Amino acid sequence: MALPVTDESLWFRRFHPRPEAEVSLVCLPHAGGAASFYFPISELLPPTVEALAVQYPGRQDRRHDTPIENIHEMAREIFEALTPLTAHRPIALFGHSMGASVGFELARLLEGELGTVPVALFASGRPAPSHHRSLDIHRRDDAGLIAELQLVSGTDSRILGDAELLRLALPAIRSDYKAAETYEYRPGARLRCDIVGLAGDSDIRVRAPEMAGWREHTAGSFRLEVFSGGHFYLGEQKAAVAGVITDTLRAATARLRRTID
């Protein structure tokens, strides 16, 4: 079903518009990340899936907007922007690192306040909400924060090598790390949507038991997909990740069609 023609929200970027898609995949970036992080995966998705990449405030074309330093507030803002779109086609969520926490809280809002069960929640490179821990990286000085970015290779190398770009980017990066590290899981009902966990086999920031903990947060199915690579395995494994997304959503939409029929 085609979405209505409207001005794009500040929150979403459609790099590859697919007006006849069957599912909207809302893509939530990591701490310090931008919507453009998901361009390569958006490009690889089939005509049946349209990616809506979220642009957090404080970066790129939203660099003058005040960053949000709270996961629950971030999820609420995205929920308000997303709500008008939920009546037009099913929604799936993909979040990497901090984005997985945002995606979890967004799924809770969709299910709890709209009765809209996402087709799936893809939780990538992030411990389960109940396994949350903090390294207090957001409290480090600029040099310490940059060292972390270099360690996990999560920021464009052009930015890390350009003092002026880095100066502009650091406030939003620090705010994101604060949001991620001060996140507080609030016990509640398990999600009804299926959860697919994704992780790099050499990720120094997420251990396998922490990823497996996502199983505790859904009454639906859970499976864990492990790829070769570190915390940002998506860069090298984008085709494989797009394949997992495609296969998962194809099966889910087929089930939805059978239910309607």
Whether 132 is catalytic is: no
> Of the residues 24, 30, 96, 97, which is catalytic?
97
Using a 10 angstrom Cβ sphere, with 0-12 exposed, 13-18 middle and 19 or more buried, the burial of residue 226 is middle
Instruction: Give the ranges where 66-113 is alpha helix by DSSP (H).
Output: 71-82, 98-109
Are the beta carbons of 165 and 243 closer than 8 angstroms?
no
Provide the total of helices (H) and of strands (E) in the chain, helices listed first.
Answer: 8, 7
Among candidates 88, 94, 121, 110, which has minimal Cα distance to 20?
Answer: 88
Rg of the chain, C-alpha, whole Å: 17
Using a 10 angstrom Cβ sphere, with 0-12 exposed, 13-18 middle and 19 or more buried, the burial of residue 133 is exposed
Whether 175 is catalytic is: no
Place of tokens 């023609």: 5
Residues annotated catalytic, as ranges: 97, 231
